[in-house]
Amino acid sequence: MKIKVATRVNEAREFLKRKREAGGTIGLVPTMGFLHEGHLSLVRRAMGENDTCVVSIFVNPLQFGPSEDFDAYPRDMGRDLDLLASEGVELVFAPGVDEMFSPDHSTIVSEKKLSGFLCGSARPGHFDGVCTIVLKLFNILRPDRAYFGEKDYQQLQVIRRMVRDLDLEVKVIGCPIVREEDGLALSSRNTYLGEAEREQAIALSRALAQARSVFDAGERGCRSILDVVRMVVESYPMVSLEYAEIRDAVDLSPVKRVDRKVVVAVAARIGRARLIDNTILCP
């Protein structure tokens, strides 16, 4: 089947209306494009669990701060469409900014409990931008299921909360982090890394692996585990740690001891890249 690319809201709506009327289920994978195996793992899952898979490609200006990398964010629509076509994706929704936001757009969806720390501290307004675009995509495409990576762990929990709080009829599905062979989590922003920076970028996954091994050896104190994380990151001079925190895996509340399922989350700057990673610990 040939891949259909819809750049208009109504075009995508029409296409999916027909699928829905024929009794098919719809799986959505929202992305900002410049696709890699992480994205494709979500696509494959969505394809396996639904009759129609729609992938959205939209670099959402609302989720970038004024001094962030909106303009520099890597884009390659031709390559993305080739990749999605070879996966057998039926519909790509790739609207322009004007199609998604009228000049007097003035409504923002704001989650108030889980968005104000971790990435929310360094990126004020970021999760408002995420919630607003994801709700718009849900309203336009009306998926039965939507697929998000655990790589953006806080984003996943914020979206789950929005879906619960606003009674949205979509099942949110979290998918495991896909990594390079050396452990670096795949990210479109990895293209910002120079050669030496790329080598040092393993600091994040190494630090998380070390956290896991002290946890496996019996350590339950968050302070001690985070000391290990910081020590590992500090041994990579090009990597500047933004945060390392351990929080409840569901409500993201702070925890002192790993006495329930938690997430160890890190963010760091390497050159002009800001990278994030996380791992789950479960006693």
In 110-165, alpha helices (H): 119-122, 126-141, 153-165
Whether 39 sits among the annotated catalytic residues: the reply is yes
186 vs 228 by CB, closer to ligand AMP: 186
Write down the least CB distance from residue 146 to ligand AMP, Å. 9
Interactions with ligand AMP, residue window 42-61 (CB under 6 A)? 42
Residue 203 touches ligand AMP, criterion: CB under 6 A:
no
Query: Cα 88 vs. chain centroid, distance in angstroms?
Result: 22
Q: What are phi and psi of 276, to 5 degrees?
A: -125, 160
Token pair recorded at residue 117? 């720390």
83 vs 185 by CB, closer to ligand AMP: 185
Residue 187 touches ligand AMP, criterion: CB under 6 A:
yes
How far apart are the C-alpha atoms of 149 and 139, rounded to whole Å? 21
Closest alpha carbon to 141 in 36, 47, 52: 52
**Which amino acid appears at position 115 of this protein?**
S
Residue 154 touches ligand AMP, criterion: CB under 6 A:
no
68 vs 227 by CB, closer to ligand AMP: 68
Residues 6+ away with beta carbon under 8 Å from 95: 6, 7, 8, 9, 58
How far apart are the C-alpha atoms of 128 and 112, rounded to whole Å? 9
Residue 163 touches ligand AMP, criterion: CB under 6 A:
no
Write down the least CB distance from residue 42 to ligand AMP, Å. 6
Stretch that binds ligand AMP, among 35-43, 106-114, 231-239, 273-281 (CB under 6 A): 35-43
Q: Which residues bind ligand AMP (CB under 6 A)?
A: 31-32, 38-39, 41-42, 148-149, 151-152, 175, 177-178, 185-188
Q: List active site positions.
A: 39
